[in-house]
Amino acid sequence: MTHFPGRFAGKKAVVTGAAQGIGECVARRLAAEGAEVALVDRSELVLELAEELGKGGAHGVTADLEQYEGAERAVSEAHRALGGRIDVLVNNVGGTIWARPYEHYTPEQIRAEVQRSLVPTLWTCHAVLPHLIAQRSGTIVNVSSVATRGVNRVPYAAAKGGVNGITSALALEAAPYGIRVVATAPGGTDAPPRRVARGPAAADEQERAWYQQIVDQTVESSLLKRYGKLEEQAAAICFLASDEASYITGSVLPVAGGDQG
């Protein structure tokens, strides 16, 4: 992975969903480029990562961001740990739980998908805004998905469409305070096996076939005909979070090998 040493020197950053996957990769890159980071996740794995990244330069916070109280507490703890300032918030919590045609979802599963992939971004944006408004600066990077145009995950697509809506609408409201709100829309991304599962594994041949349809459609929709790498997703997120992107707000950047979502 290419780093830009010092790009985030003196910056204070919060990364949610930082225990593994894209969030972990972003956290590692921000720390390597000079940021002091607060890493938020409901898994205690995030405490191990913070310890690995170095005392004084990384802080672990465990919280359930699907609940407003969890998001409010996490942002408050991060703000305090970072010395009373947050320059960057990366909202990375989310992920498909089930893969199936829409008519096969239960109402409870639909609610769970929205609760997982939309609500944490709503809550953390709401919790962080008073701090950013008070300092009249800051950048929020939301992690959406090109699955807003994809098969076998309509509730997840709806949730990520909501993340796009948060990004464009909040950018309008926040701009007068010097705050930027942007997003990336990752496509399929290769990652090591998850240490904490997003949901139940496929139970039978039919569920495996539905998931394979997602994989096939993801690769076919990419002009490069492949999945991305964690480092490729982190690079785009860190660019948008950096001062290099200071004239970009309200935009959603697809990072999906040419799939525009």
Residue 13 identity (one-letter amino acid): A
Q: pLDDT for 22-35, tens place per residue?
A: 999 999 999 999 99
Name which of 99-113, 122-136, 173-187, 192-206 the model is least confident about: 192-206
CATH class of the 12-255 domain in this structure: alpha beta
List, by residue number, the catalytic residues: 156
| pLDDT band at residue 1 using 50, 70 and 90 as cut-offs | low
Q: What φ, ψ does residue 229 adopt, rounded to 5°?
A: -110, 155
Quickly list H helices, 83-191: 107-117, 119-135, 154-174
In this model, does residue 5 exceed pLDDT 80? yes
CA pair distance 24, 18, nearest whole angstrom: 4
Q: What is the mean pLDDT of the chain?
A: 96
C-beta separation of 261 from 224 below 8 A = no
The 10s digit of each residue's pLDDT in 241-250 is 999 999 999 9
Average of pLDDT values for 5-16? 97
Token code pair at residue 113: 């998908």
Domain boundaries, the chain: 12-255
